[in-house]
A and B are shown apart, each in its own frame.
Chain A
Amino acid sequence: MASSCEDSDDDFVVLGTPVPEIQEGVPLKKPTNVQDLTARDKHGRRRFHGAFTGGFSAGFFNTVGTKEGFMPSEFVSSRDKKNDGRQEFRPEDFMDDEDFEEHGIAPRKFATVSSYTSEERKRKLLDDAQQITAKSSIDLGSSIMDLVIPDRVPIGIKLLRKMGWREGQGLGPRIKKKKKKGKKAASAKGVKMYGCAPPPSDEADSDSDRYVPEDMSEVSFAPQDVCPISLEAKDNVHGLGYRGLDPSLALSGSHINLFDTGGPAKSRSRGKGIKGQAFGVGVFEDEDEDIYAQEDMSQYNNTMDGGKSKDSNFGWTAPREHGKVNVPVSYVGKLLEGFCLSSKPLKPGRKFPPPTLPRHFKPQHWFRKKRITSHLPEDIGVDGSESGSRSSGLTAVDRGLILGETPVMSSVFDLIPAHDKQRIEATKEAISMTQSLTGSEAGPSKSATQQAGPTESGAFSQLSEMRETTESTQAKPGSFLSKFKPAEVTPADNGSTSTSGAAPKAPLFQGGLNFQPFRKDPVKQERYDRYLTLVKQGVQDPYSSVVSSSMTEWDRSRERDEFAKAAKIFRPLSAMMSSRFVRGAMIDDDTAEKPMEAESEKSDQGKAADMKMFGKLTREEVEWHPDKLLCRRFNVPNPYPGSDIVGLNTVKRDKYSVFNFLSFGDYQPSETQEPPSAETKRKNETTETTEPETGFHKRKKPTLASVFKVLDDPDFHKPFAPKPETETADGGTTETLEAPGNDEGNEKPDEDSAPDMDLFRAIFKNSDSETSDDSDDDKGSNDLGDEKEESDAEDVKDVTLVASPEEQRTGSPSHTPPSKEAIKDELSPETTPVNQELTPIHRQSESTARLENPFSSVQRDPGVKSRRGRSRWEGKSVFSVLDDLDVESKDTTPNGDSVASRLSPSQTETVTVDENTDEYGPRLPPGLSSTPAPSISASIQPVVREGEPRRLYSREADRKRHKHKKEKKKKSKHKKDKKGKKHKKKSSRSGKSKQESSGSEADSESSDGSEVSDNELIERFKTVSKKSGLTSNILAKKL
């Protein structure tokens, strides 16, 4: 021990690899990483290789992957030992000695050969002993042998054998077999079995393998040799039923049966007991997807229809079964999968009917009108008195006034000082008056009519009032402003005009509000008012409830038409404007709006369409250029090979431009503003018939449209009875009352309507071709006569057409010579002297002719002229249409003058061009004019007409006229305006009938009202104010 103690190093047992000692000067070795460590075998060869070098040490001495490669087997074949190539290889041939080692894949170990085992040796010994004993005849007995030879049977078996057990028997106590045969027989006896017998019960089946004799009931048998159920005691701390990962299952590596439905397995896992995951999910959670679970086919779709593989089959679908789902035809909607329509429909929920509306209920809320007028002091006073009763009616202005504040201006009109306001009123009055005069060209002023007193029939005053109101309603801003100039004139005039009581209190543009077309006839006016209110309420056939019983049937129907037309026509400007714009929450007023709206949609084509008269009336044809390529694609030659226009040829005017609408009075269509040169050129055309075409070929549409005027005309449907009479009446002075409205026809047989008539005839197949021929003849000759009459043909054209028929008839002898002169005149328009010479004569003759038979021209040619002129007449004044029956029936005397009166303005204007003529004097007031009593007394008598017969007396006026050269210039300018006006009238004829609000026609219509220019206005004013003797003052102010 001491030695051992001395040698202490030997005492310690060294385990592991010693840490190498740190040596100075030698750099430290890097510690080797785990991946750098390599497993090597006992020869120091590397045991594992990479995947590409053979994995395990591959090949003979790791030659796989090396240059040498796998060692080839040698091929040996000799004569006696042939190598037939079918060398049998054993697995061992491909193994190296490592594989045979203890840890190799085919370990080889040394073991005793079976012949050397104890069993074998015992048998050998036995055999040897038997041989020996048999020879020696000494029976040693098995017991000896057993003693000699060690028994190697296990002790358990030995013990069992001792207990009586034999090989092949089960363990356990012996059991007795129960008797079952008898039972079975008894059951078989008692129960009859039909058909197939059920298979024998499993008890019997289980016992059937063993034969049990009948009588050996007492014999007991050993139990069968079956493995007993092992009841394992729970010996772990896992949860009940938990089984850990079974390596045999997890790593079975066996075939996964995909086609095993696995239904029961799933149900098993969902069954009772706790199985599966170690950490269960909560009660309220779904079990997680078992991602390690075996897949089976239940997790796949069995059917192919679900997947929509669009592109694989390009969307083609197989034919489908029909009638699988029988959805009723009426059912619209998608039927949900798995649902079917119920046979009995749902009981609909209880419905509550909407409340019944009152009869006249309109679904619109109308705000109370308190806009402009409410700020006026008198209104405020009224409101203030009311305020006690209902304070809620007070506006902010009212309250402010109560508090003594100065009201806030909410209207431009509030800013106008009082006297200016007065002036505006007066101006308005004047304008309306003058416009009324323009309408009938020679009508007396309103005050004149008022003063005329009891003699007047009232018809004309109605006319003039109507006109006044229409024109005030249609007054447009532009024209209105231009008319502000004469405002200075008005204050002096105010007194006289205010007596008429027509000064409207309402703001300017609501002029139509208090329009009373039948003011002269209060009863009628009252009926009309009631009619309007009924119309507003939307009552059907409003006239029937208004009509008075004292009227005749004819009167009634006539008045009904009158009312309808008046209601149509006299609508306020605001309504007209509102038809152009989208309506806001409230508009200025809604008077008579409803019939307007209904009517405004109608166009000529619309009317034609309504009357089912398709064809020329509804057709338009324009040039249209298709694209070259379009033609080529259509395989059609290009209709316009040279042109590079595509689409429509013409540039259309924008109908809906705001400027078109705003250019009220001052705007004239371009045609009307043609330079005079064009006019003279046109004049030089000797054939008058071409003139309308040249002048109006552009206005084809309006003329077409005007056909419907004729249709609208009540007279149209009347028989043409007066026709023969008028034929005979040529040159005569007989007066016929039968033909109402013929005078209008006389007024304006303008040629523009001629094509209409033809067309009209063509369409309506009227048989009055004779009369139309006549009229055509008249036209031709008259036109010749016209030209001589007016050298300045610019504005003459329409007027001549107007004048011509009666000229032809009345003064045909006197006219023929001047007509030649006129032609001469046309050829040389500069020769004014001739013209001057001519005009007075002609004028004289004409005027005298007219004076002689003022009425003859009226009934001259009623059939023709009413036809031709109707449109014109409507365009001119609807009131004449409305009331001409009245006019004729009531006052027969002045009736004819209206015709002449229509002539007059043009004549006067032509005269004004000739400065030296004495004939000019139309502005003489009636008061100064001595002679023409009928003209004064007749309410219809227009101002200009008055002047005409008085030309001889008009030197006084002439004197004044010299002062007003400026005016004249304006007048000459105004002539153009007038001409334009004529054009407009023509176009507005259509507008009158339909009152349509759309497009340019409405424009022309609206511009109709503003035809009176400033100069003319002043002229009218003069005549008006002369009566009161204020003209000189006014003129002085003006100039």
Chain B
Amino acid sequence: MTWANKKTQTLQCKQGAVRAVRFNVDGNYCLTCGSDKSVKLWNPLRGLHLKTYSGHGYEVLDAQSSGDNSHICSGGMDKTVVLFDVSTGQAIRKYRDHAGTVNCVSFNEESTLILSGSLDCSIRTWDVRSRKNQPIQVLDEAKDSVTFVQVSDHEILSGSADSRIRRYDLRIGRMFTDFVGKPVSCVNFTRDGQCVLVSAQDTSIKLFDKDTGEMLNEYTGLKNSNYKIESCLNQSDTHILSGSEDGKIYVWDLVEAKLCDTLDHETSRAVHSISHHPSQPAVLSACGDNVSVWESNSEAGDVS
């Protein structure tokens, strides 16, 4: 089994509804964003709660840790983007320029920038290094709420509720807009950076060629009609995982688009946020008020 298929831990987050769960860069820790205005740091594989970060004024919707694990950025319904210091738990910066709920945040690769997508149809880029409170640039090309932002070394990828994904290529200075047809809930680069995985409010997830915008594959079966369901790729780009509104995680083979497995949470609640370990077959999924940790049941065998 190359994908996670066994639930090994359940983190009782005790922070209300868990809005998002994110692995850190090396996959040893994870962050959960709760509706009780807090961000929590966990060791998911051992189920340890390490620290709570508070400083938001309303529900936290997304968080990401920086590449050196020293900072955490988070955005929430209080329209702010907050930068936390990991060790002290203090909020170092609060960026208040968005006019609406911040749906998603992302560091750039060097963690010198924070990009935040918001309900106000814009992505704002914040310079972590300076003390300015104004964004460097506002990418307001979206016509509807920006739901997801991803960053590669020279690209900014955003999904929006206007059914488009936008890719800003900083090297060549162009913006590519692809119409997907349905409001986009999640976009992801594949790990090789050649393709884009798009979750829209549809019964399928689509894999697009990054350069041409053509659809390479389609993964059907899930249910995504109301929520911001996230999808991700596994550590080696061989499988595609997605949450669903029927309380399951769907796992497809990337090439064959065949449904390999469904990880049932035994609940009717939507599994809306998932995050894959960067190097191991382990997945975190947020459902309701707790986070499930899924690992491959043959992992021990692999190690031995």
Same assembly: yes
Q: Smallest Cβ distance from A608 to chain B, in angstroms?
A: 7
Binds B, one of A270-278, A281-289, A620-628, A747-755: A620-628
Nearest residue in A to B173 (C-beta to C-beta)? A639
Binds A, one of B46-54, B74-82, B93-101, B294-302: B46-54
**A contact residues around B139 at 8 Å (CB):** 647
For the A-B complex, the count of residue pairs with Cβ-Cβ distances under 8 Å equals 143
Interchain CB contact under 8 A, B48 and A620: no
Interchain CB contact under 8 A, A648 and B141: yes
**Residue A81 at the B interface, CB < 8 A?**
no
Nearest residue in A to B132 (C-beta to C-beta)? A629
Interchain CB contact under 8 A, B213 and A612: no
Expressed in whole angstroms, the Cα–Cα distance for A619 and B88 within the complex equals 46
Q: Smallest Cβ distance from B139 to chain A, in angstroms?
A: 7
**Cβ-defined partner of A634 (8 Å) among B108, B175, B266, B288:** B108
Expressed in whole angstroms, the Cα–Cα distance for A314 and B266 within the complex equals 37
Expressed in whole angstroms, the Cα–Cα distance for A627 and B134 within the complex equals 13
Q: Smallest Cβ distance from A786 to chain B, in angstroms?
A: 37
Expressed in whole angstroms, the Cα–Cα distance for A618 and B113 within the complex equals 30
Binds A, one of B177-185, B224-232, B237-245: B177-185
Knowing A624-B168, A633-B112, A636-B170 touch, does A329 contact B214 (C-beta < 8 A)? no
Report A299-322 CB contacts with B as 1/0, cut-off 8 Å. 000000000000000111101101
**Residue B194 at the A interface, CB < 8 A?**
no
**Residue B260 at the A interface, CB < 8 A?**
no
The tally of residues in B whose CB lies under 8 Å from a CB in A reads: 59
Within 8 A of A (CB), among B270-304: 288-290, 292
Nearest residue in B to A634 (C-beta to C-beta)? B170
**Residue A582 at the B interface, CB < 8 A?**
no
**Residue B59 at the A interface, CB < 8 A?**
no
**A contact residues around B48 at 8 Å (CB):** 319-320
**B contact residues around A56 at 8 Å (CB):** none
Q: Smallest Cβ distance from A323 to chain B, in angstroms?
A: 10
Interchain CB contact under 8 A, A619 and B137: no
**Cβ-defined partner of B87 (8 Å) among A314, A620, A622:** A314
User: Which secondary structure characterizes the binding site on chain B?
Assistant: loop
Interchain CB contact under 8 A, B168 and A606: no
Expressed in whole angstroms, the Cα–Cα distance for A627 and B124 within the complex equals 12
Q: Smallest Cβ distance from A757 to chain B, in angstroms?
A: 20
Interchain CB contact under 8 A, A626 and B208: no
Interchain CB contact under 8 A, B113 and A633: yes
**A contact residues around B182 at 8 Å (CB):** 609
Q: Smallest Cβ distance from B57 to chain A, in angstroms?
A: 18
Q: Smallest Cβ distance from B192 to chain A, in angstroms?
A: 19
Q: Smallest Cβ distance from A636 to chain B, in angstroms?
A: 5
**Cβ-defined partner of B179 (8 Å) among A334, A606, A633:** A606
**A contact residues around B208 at 8 Å (CB):** 614
**Cβ-defined partner of A621 (8 Å) among B141, B177, B215:** B177
Report A594-612 CB contacts with B as 1/0, cut-off 8 Å. 0000000000011011101
**Cβ-defined partner of B174 (8 Å) among A317, A334, A622:** A622
Q: Smallest Cβ distance from A312 to chain B, in angstroms?
A: 13
Expressed in whole angstroms, the Cα–Cα distance for A631 and B154 within the complex equals 9
Interchain CB contact under 8 A, A317 and B49: yes
Within 8 A of A (CB), among B103-119: 108-110, 112-113
Q: Smallest Cβ distance from A384 to chain B, in angstroms?
A: 53
**B contact residues around A606 at 8 Å (CB):** 163, 179, 181
Expressed in whole angstroms, the Cα–Cα distance for A647 and B122 within the complex equals 12
Interchain CB contact under 8 A, B175 and A639: no
Knowing A317-B50, A320-B49, A626-B170 touch, does A614 contact B213 (C-beta < 8 A)? yes
**A contact residues around B288 at 8 Å (CB):** 332
**A contact residues around B168 at 8 Å (CB):** 624, 626
**B contact residues around A614 at 8 Å (CB):** 178-180, 206, 208, 213-215
Nearest residue in A to B43 (C-beta to C-beta)? A319
Within 8 A of A (CB), among B1-51: 10, 12, 14, 47-51
Expressed in whole angstroms, the Cα–Cα distance for A329 and B268 within the complex equals 12
**Residue B235 at the A interface, CB < 8 A?**
no
Expressed in whole angstroms, the Cα–Cα distance for A646 and B212 within the complex equals 25
Nearest residue in A to B168 (C-beta to C-beta)? A624
Report B190-204 CB contacts with A as 1/0, cut-off 8 Å. 000000000000000
Expressed in whole angstroms, the Cα–Cα distance for A620 and B163 within the complex equals 13
Report A924-959 CB contacts with B as 1/0, cut-off 8 Å. 000000000000000000000000000000000000
**Residue A44 at the B interface, CB < 8 A?**
no
**Residue A630 at the B interface, CB < 8 A?**
yes
**Residue A635 at the B interface, CB < 8 A?**
yes
Q: Smallest Cβ distance from A999 to chain B, in angstroms?
A: 10
Expressed in whole angstroms, the Cα–Cα distance for A636 and B109 within the complex equals 12
Expressed in whole angstroms, the Cα–Cα distance for A334 and B47 within the complex equals 18
Q: Smallest Cβ distance from A434 to chain B, in angstroms?
A: 39
Knowing A316-B50, A317-B51, A630-B125 touch, does A622 contact B213 (C-beta < 8 A)? no
**Residue A330 at the B interface, CB < 8 A?**
yes
Q: Smallest Cβ distance from B143 to chain A, in angstroms?
A: 10
**Residue B131 at the A interface, CB < 8 A?**
no
**A contact residues around B179 at 8 Å (CB):** 605-606, 608-609, 614, 618-620
**Cβ-defined partner of A616 (8 Å) among B136, B174, B213:** B213
**Cβ-defined partner of B12 (8 Å) among A327, A624, A631, A638:** A327
**Residue A640 at the B interface, CB < 8 A?**
yes
Interchain CB contact under 8 A, A609 and B181: yes
**Residue A182 at the B interface, CB < 8 A?**
no
Interchain CB contact under 8 A, A621 and B175: yes
Expressed in whole angstroms, the Cα–Cα distance for A333 and B109 within the complex equals 37
Knowing A605-B179, A618-B213, A630-B125 touch, does A639 contact B172 (C-beta < 8 A)? yes
**Residue A173 at the B interface, CB < 8 A?**
no
**B contact residues around A624 at 8 Å (CB):** 141, 168-169, 173-175
Nearest residue in A to B208 (C-beta to C-beta)? A614
Nearest residue in A to B17 (C-beta to C-beta)? A332
**B contact residues around A636 at 8 Å (CB):** 153-154, 170-171
Interchain CB contact under 8 A, B49 and A648: no
Q: Smallest Cβ distance from A626 to chain B, in angstroms?
A: 5
Nearest residue in A to B268 (C-beta to C-beta)? A330
**Residue A615 at the B interface, CB < 8 A?**
yes
Knowing A334-B14, A614-B214 touch, does A633 contact B127 (C-beta < 8 A)? yes
Nearest residue in B to A645 (C-beta to C-beta)? B173
Interchain CB contact under 8 A, A627 and B136: yes
Nearest residue in B to A333 (C-beta to C-beta)? B289
Nearest residue in B to A325 (C-beta to C-beta)? B12
Interchain CB contact under 8 A, B289 and A622: no
**B contact residues around A629 at 8 Å (CB):** 127, 136-137
Report A453-476 CB contacts with B as 1/0, cut-off 8 Å. 000000000000000000000000
Nearest residue in B to A626 (C-beta to C-beta)? B170
Interchain CB contact under 8 A, B108 and A633: yes
Interchain CB contact under 8 A, A633 and B110: yes
Interchain CB contact under 8 A, A329 and B265: yes
Expressed in whole angstroms, the Cα–Cα distance for A631 and B89 within the complex equals 30
Nearest residue in A to B288 (C-beta to C-beta)? A332
**B contact residues around A315 at 8 Å (CB):** 51-52, 89
Expressed in whole angstroms, the Cα–Cα distance for A636 and B87 within the complex equals 31
**B contact residues around A618 at 8 Å (CB):** 178-180, 213
**A contact residues around B47 at 8 Å (CB):** 322
Q: Smallest Cβ distance from A848 to chain B, in angstroms?
A: 51
**Cβ-defined partner of A314 (8 Å) among B89, B174, B269:** B89
**B contact residues around A634 at 8 Å (CB):** 108-110, 113, 153-154, 170
Complex A-B: 7 CB contacts under 8 Å: A315-B51, A619-B179, A621-B175, A633-B108, A634-B110, A634-B153, A647-B139
11 more contacts with CB within 8 A, not counting A615-B214, A620-B177, A636-B170, are A315-B51, A332-B289, A614-B206, A619-B213, A620-B179, A621-B176, A623-B173, A624-B169, A626-B173, A637-B171, A639-B170
What 9 pairs across the A-B complex have the smallest Cβ distances? A609-B181, A639-B173, A624-B175, A605-B179, A619-B213, A618-B179, A615-B214, A627-B137, A614-B215
Binding site for B on A (CB under 8 A): 314-317, 319-320, 322, 327, 329-330, 332-334, 605-606, 608-610, 612, 614-616, 618-627, 629-631, 633-640, 646-648
